[in-house]
C-alpha cells in the first residue's frame, strides 16, 4: 500500500496527467479475514479523493471476484452498481469506491493506473484519433472507443480482456478515446513508469507538431481592455443566472490572450471539454463574450434537448457559465468560492493547450453534447460536488477591508473569511500581503500594500480586487490614525491635516470609487464604517480624531441617504477601549490607567457591563451588519463599548 499511495501521489501531483480529483489507481492484494482465510481484494481509489494527496484511508477495499463479475451482467443501473460495490466492501466504513472500480477489477494486472493525460486526450480528441494512437504507441496499447464511464466502459473493457486484447506481448496500456489512458504493471513502479513513458511518447509527438505550428502562424494578441465596472457587471449577471453570489477571477496573461486571439475561437471553444469529467467544473462549453442571457438560454435548451436520456427525473443545474472568454475582459473563471474558480481556471488552461494542439493534428473533436450530458447529469459525478455541507453565509461574496494587517481590520477580515467571504485587505504595512498566508481557507485572501490616501493606489487596489474576485459586495472602512493627545490651543496644523486625510478624505474617495462596484453586488452592497465612541462622546485632547470620526459618520449617513435606491446599506459601528490593537502597548495602557487612578485590569473593564472589548467583538458586529440581521437597516450607528455612561 505504501507503494500504491506513493505513485498515486506522483501521478496526482502532475497537472498534465490529472486535475482536481480526476484519475484513479488500484492494486490487487490479499486480505486475511477474521477467520484466517485469505481473500483476493481490489484496493481502489475512493470517489471524492484527490490523487495528489491521497493516503491509505482514501482507498476502498473490495472483494475482487464480486466486483469483476459485475462486468458480466447485461445491465446494471447506477444505483445498483453503487449498492453492489458497497456490498463488496471488505473493510467497513471506507470511502465509496471510484466509478471505475469495475474496470480496475477486470484488468488482470496487479497495479493499475488511470489518468486523463493532456497529451493522450489531445491525440484522441481528433478525427484521426485512433490512427494517431496506433502511430504513436504501436502495439503497446489496446484501444477502446468512447463509451460512458462506469459500468458501460467496464463491460466493454471486460469484453476486450476476454478477447485477449490486453494480454498480447508488450501490451502495457489501454487508451480510451476522448477520455484518457490506463497502464498496468506487476509493481507500482512498473505501472507508473509505463504511464510516464507512454505519455512522453504522445507529448513528443505533439512537440513536433507544435514546432511546425509555431513556424507557420503568428497569432494576433489582443490587449486586455475594459475597466473593472465591466467585469463587475458581468459578475452580477452571472450571479443572477447562478442564483447565488459567485466570484470570478480574470486572466489576461500571454497564453490566455493568444488563445482569445485565435481566429477560430468562436468555433473551437464551443466543442466541449478535453475529458468528460471536466464538465462538472467547466460546464460543456465556455461563454463567448458577455451575453449571459444567450448562454443560459442555450444551456436550458441543451438540458431540455437531452433530459429524455435519463430514466431519472432530472433537476436542471444552474445555467450559469463557469468559464467566460471575452477578447477585451480576458478569461473569467467562475466559482461559488475562490477555490472553485481556481479549479475551473486550471482545467481551462489545460483545455486551451489541448484545443490548440488537437487543431494542429487535424481538428479538435471531443465527445458529443449528448455523451457529455450523460456525464454532467450522472448522479455519480454530481455526488463529487455534494457532501460539502451548506454554504457559509457569505460564500461567493467579496469584501474589502482597509487597515487589514492588524487590530480591528484584521479581525474583521478574519471574521468575514470565516463566514465564507473572499477578502481584499489594504494596509500601509507590507505585512498585509502575508497576513493570512498559508492559512485556510485557501484562495480567500488578497493582501494589497497600499496607501488609502493615494488616488492611484486606491484605484489600482480596486482593479486588482476585481481582477482577482470579480466585484465588491462589502466595504469595511477601518483604516485610521489616532494622533498624540493635543489641546486645541496647541494644535499642529500638519497633524490635523494628516488625521483628516486618513480618517476622512481617504474614506470619502474610497466610497466614491467603490460605489459603481457596490451597486452591482448580487446581494446588495454593504458598507461598514468603523467610527468611534468619540463621535457621541468626544474626549478632551482628541480634537482632530473626534472631529474626523464625526465627519466620517456624517459622510456615512449621507451615503445611506443617497445609496438606498442602489440597495447599498451603510452602517456605523462605534467601538471604544479596544485594547488588543497595535496602538495600545502595555506601556500606554498602564499610563492611561494610572491617569484615571485605576489598575490596568479596572481600566480595561471601565464600562457599564464591566466587560473587556476586543477586536473580535467589533468584528462580530461588523459581520452582523453585513448579514440578515441588518437586512432592513441602513444609516444606523451601533456602539460596541460595553456600555458607556456618556453614550447611553
Closest distance to Zn ion from the beta carbon of 505 (Å): 58
- Nearer of residues 147 and 462 to Zn ion, judged by Cβ: 147
Closest distance to Zn ion from the beta carbon of 115 (Å): 8
Q: Count CB neighbours of 91 within 10 A.
A: 12
Length of the chain: 648
Are the beta carbons of 349 and 341 closer than 8 angstroms? no
Residues in Cβ contact with 429 at an 8 Å cutoff, skipping those fewer than 6 apart: 405, 406, 449
Stretch that binds Zn ion, among 179-187, 323-331, 457-465, 511-519 (CB under 5 A): 179-187
- Nearer of residues 180 and 639 to Zn ion, judged by Cβ: 180
CA angle 378, 381, 386 (to 5 degrees): 115
Under DSSP, is residue 269 helix (H, G, I), strand (E, B) or coil? coil
Closest distance to Zn ion from the beta carbon of 287 (Å): 26
Residues 576-635 that bind Zn ion (CB under 5 A): none
Between the alpha carbon of residue 421 and those of residues 40, 46, 123, 246, 614, the distances in Å are 48, 30, 41, 10, 22
- Nearer of residues 114 and 394 to Zn ion, judged by Cβ: 114
* Pairwise CA distance, residues 243 & 235, whole Å: 12
* DSSP 8-state class, residue 533: T
CA angle 486, 492, 496 (to 5 degrees): 85
Are the beta carbons of 125 and 253 closer than 8 angstroms? no
Closest distance to Zn ion from the beta carbon of 149 (Å): 6
CA angle 155, 156, 161 (to 5 degrees): 95
- Nearer of residues 382 and 453 to Zn ion, judged by Cβ: 382
Instruction: Classify the phi-psi angles of 451: left when phi > 0, otherwise alpha if psi is within -120 to 50, otherwise beta.
Output: beta
Stretch that binds Zn ion, among 176-184, 412-420, 549-557, 601-609 (CB under 5 A): 176-184
- Nearer of residues 24 and 507 to Zn ion, judged by Cβ: 24
Between the alpha carbon of residue 130 and those of residues 181, 212, 259, the distances in Å are 13, 22, 26
Tell me the number of residues near Zn ion by CB under 5 A: 1
Are the beta carbons of 499 and 483 closer than 8 angstroms? yes
Three-class HEC string of 472-529? CCEEEECCCCCCCCECHHHCCHHHHHHHHHHHHHHHHHHHHHHHHHHCCCCCCCEEEE
Per-residue contact string for residues 210-249; x = within reach of Zn ion by CB under 5 A: ----------------------------------------
Stretch that binds Zn ion, among 163-171, 175-183, 288-296, 388-396 (CB under 5 A): 175-183
Given the residues 299, 364, 545, 603, the one annotated as active site: 545
545 is catalytic: yes
Closest distance to Zn ion from the beta carbon of 416 (Å): 38
Q: Which of 180, 273, 447, 525 binds Zn ion (CB under 5 A)?
A: 180
* Pairwise CA distance, residues 462 & 540, whole Å: 37
Q: Count CB neighbours of 580 within 10 A.
A: 16
* Pairwise CA distance, residues 247 & 337, whole Å: 6
Closest distance to Zn ion from the beta carbon of 147 (Å): 12
Strands 173-176 and 180-185 come out as antiparallel
* Pairwise CA distance, residues 43 & 27, whole Å: 5
- Nearer of residues 180 and 642 to Zn ion, judged by Cβ: 180
- Nearer of residues 51 and 547 to Zn ion, judged by Cβ: 51
Stretch that binds Zn ion, among 180-188, 214-222, 349-357, 401-409 (CB under 5 A): 180-188
Q: Which position's Cβ is nearest Zn ion? A: 180
- Nearer of residues 381 and 473 to Zn ion, judged by Cβ: 381
Rule CB under 5 A: is residue 522 a binding residue for Zn ion?
no
- Nearer of residues 12 and 180 to Zn ion, judged by Cβ: 180
The secondary structure element, H or E, covering residue 364 is none
The secondary structure element, H or E, covering residue 11 is helix 2-12
Closest distance to Zn ion from the beta carbon of 277 (Å): 6
Closest CA to 50 of 346, 317, 273, 248: 346
Between the alpha carbon of residue 81 and those of residues 73, 99, 207, 386, the distances in Å are 11, 9, 41, 19
Closest distance to Zn ion from the beta carbon of 98 (Å): 9
**Grid cell listed for 636:** 444606523
Which residues partner with 181 through β-bridges? Answer: 115, 175
Are the beta carbons of 325 and 331 closer than 8 angstroms? yes
Stretch that binds Zn ion, among 177-185, 411-419, 473-481, 509-517 (CB under 5 A): 177-185
- Nearer of residues 180 and 470 to Zn ion, judged by Cβ: 180
Closest distance to Zn ion from the beta carbon of 72 (Å): 22
How far apart are the two ends of the chain, measured CA to CA in Å? 67
- Nearer of residues 180 and 396 to Zn ion, judged by Cβ: 180
* Pairwise CA distance, residues 271 & 82, whole Å: 31
What residues make contact with Zn ion under the rule CB under 5 A? Answer: 180
Q: Which residues are catalytic?
A: 545
Amino acid at each position: 500500500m505504501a507503494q500504491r499511495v506513493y505513485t498515486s501521489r506522483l501521478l496526482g501531483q502532475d497537472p498534465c496527467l490529472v486535475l482536481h480529483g480526476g484519475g484513479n489507481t488500484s492494486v490487487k492484494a490479499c486480505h486475511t479475514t477474521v477467520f484466517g482465510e485469505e481473500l483476493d481484494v481490489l484496493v481502489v481509489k475512493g470517489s471524492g479523493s484527490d490523487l495528489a494527496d491521497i493516503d491509505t484511508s482514501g482507498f476502498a477495499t473490495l472483494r475482487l471476484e464480486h466486483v469483476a463479475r459485475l462486468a458480466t451482467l447485461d445491465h446494471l443501473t447506477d444505483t445498483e452498481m453503487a449498492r453492489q460495490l458497497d456490498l463488496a466492501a471488505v473493510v467497513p466504513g471506507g470511502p465509496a469506491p471510484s466509478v471505475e472500480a469495475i474496470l480496475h477489477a477486470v484488468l488482470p494486472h496487479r497495479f493499475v493506473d488511470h489518468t486523463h493525460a493532456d497529451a493522450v486526450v489531445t491525440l484522441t480528441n481528433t478525427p484521426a484519433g485512433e490512427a494517431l494512437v496506433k502511430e504513436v504507441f504501436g502495439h503497446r496499447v489496446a484501444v477502446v472507443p468512447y463509451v460512458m464511464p462506469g459500468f458501460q466502459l467496464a463491460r466493454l473493457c471486460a469484453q476486450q480482456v476476454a478477447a485477449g486484447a490486453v494480454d498480447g506481448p508488450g501490451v502495457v496500456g489501454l487508451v480510451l478515446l476522448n477520455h484518457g489512458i490506463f497502464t498496468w504493471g506487476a509493481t507500482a513502479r512498473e505501472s507508473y513508469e509505463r504511464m510516464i513513458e507512454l505519455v512522453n511518447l504522445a507529448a513528443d509527438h505533439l512537440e513536433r507538431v507544435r514546432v511546425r505550428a509555431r513556424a507557420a502562424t503568428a497569432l494576433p494578441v489582443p490587449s486586455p481592455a475594459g475597466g473593472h465596472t465591466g467585469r463587475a457587471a458581468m459578475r452580477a449577471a452571472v450571479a443572477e443566472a447562478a442564483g447565488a453570489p459567485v466570484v470570478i477571477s480574470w486572466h489576461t496573461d500571454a497564453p490566455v490572450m493568444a488563445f482569445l486571439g485565435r481566429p477560430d475561437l468562436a468555433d473551437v471553444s464551443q466543442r466541449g471539454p478535453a475529458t468528460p469529467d471536466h464538465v462538472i467544473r467547466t460546464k460543456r462549453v465556455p461563454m463567448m463574450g458577455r451575453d449571459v442571457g444567450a448562454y443560459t438560454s442555450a444551456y436550458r435548451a441543451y438540458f431540455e434537448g437531452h433530459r429524455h436520456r435519463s430514466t431519472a427525473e432530472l433537476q436542471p443545474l444552474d445555467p450559469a457559465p463557469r468559464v467566460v472568454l471575452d477578447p477585451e475582459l480576458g478569461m473569467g473563471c467562475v466559482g461559488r468560492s475562490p477555490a472553485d474558480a481556481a479549479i475551473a481556471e486550471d482545467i481551462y488552461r489545460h483545455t486551451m493547450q489541448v484545443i490548440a494542439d488537437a487543431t494542429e493534428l487535424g481538428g479538435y473533436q471531443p465527445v458529443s453534447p449528448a455523451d457529455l450530458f450523460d456525464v454532467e447529469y450522472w448522479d455519480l459525478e454530481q455526488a463529487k460536488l455534494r457532501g460539502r455541507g451548506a454554504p457559509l453565509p457569505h460564500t461567493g461574496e467579496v469584501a474589502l477591508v482597509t487597515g487589514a494587517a492588524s487590530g480591528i481590520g484584521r479581525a474583521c477580515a478574519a471574521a468575514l473569511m470565516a463566514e465564507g467571504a473572499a477578502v481584499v485587505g489594504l494596509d500601509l504595512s507590507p505585512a498585509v500581503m502575508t497576513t493570512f498566508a498559508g492559512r485556510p481557507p485557501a484562495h480567500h485572501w488578497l493582501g494589497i500594500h497600499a496607501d488609502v490616501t493615494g488616488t492611484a493606489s486606491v484605484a489600482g487596489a480596486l482593479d486588482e480586487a476585481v481582477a482577482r474576485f470579480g466585484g465588491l459586495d462589502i466595504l469595511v472602512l477601518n483604516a485610521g490614525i489616532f494622533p498624540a493627545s493635543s489641546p486645541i490651543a496647541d494644535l499642529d496644523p500638519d497633524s490635523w491635516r494628516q488625521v483628516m486625510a486618513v480618517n476622512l478624505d481617504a474614506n470619502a474617495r474610497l466610497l466614491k470609487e467603490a460605489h459603481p462596484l457596490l451597486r452591482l453586488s448580487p446581494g446588495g452592497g454593504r458598507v461598514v464604517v468603523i467610527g468611534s465612541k468619540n463621535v457621541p462622546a468626544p474626549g478632551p485632547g482628541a480634537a482632530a480624531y473626534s472631529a474626523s470620526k464625526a465627519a466620517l459618520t456624517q459622510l456615512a449617513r449621507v451615503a445611506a441617504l443617497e445609496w438606498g435606491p442602489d440597495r447599498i446599506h451603510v452602517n456605523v459601528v462605534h467601538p471604544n477601549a479596544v485594547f488588543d490593537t497595535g496602538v495600545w502597548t502595555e506601556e500606554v495602557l498602564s499610563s492611561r490607567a494610572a491617569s484615571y487612578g485605576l489598575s490596568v485590569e479596572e481600566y480595561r473593564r471601565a464600562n457599564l457591563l464591566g466587560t473587556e472589548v476586543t477586536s473580535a467583538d467589533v468584528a462580530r458586529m461588523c459581520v452582523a451588519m453585513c448579514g440578515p440581521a441588518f437586512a432592513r437597516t441602513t444609516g444606523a450607528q451601533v456602539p460596541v463599548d460595553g456600555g458607556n455612561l456618556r453614550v447611553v
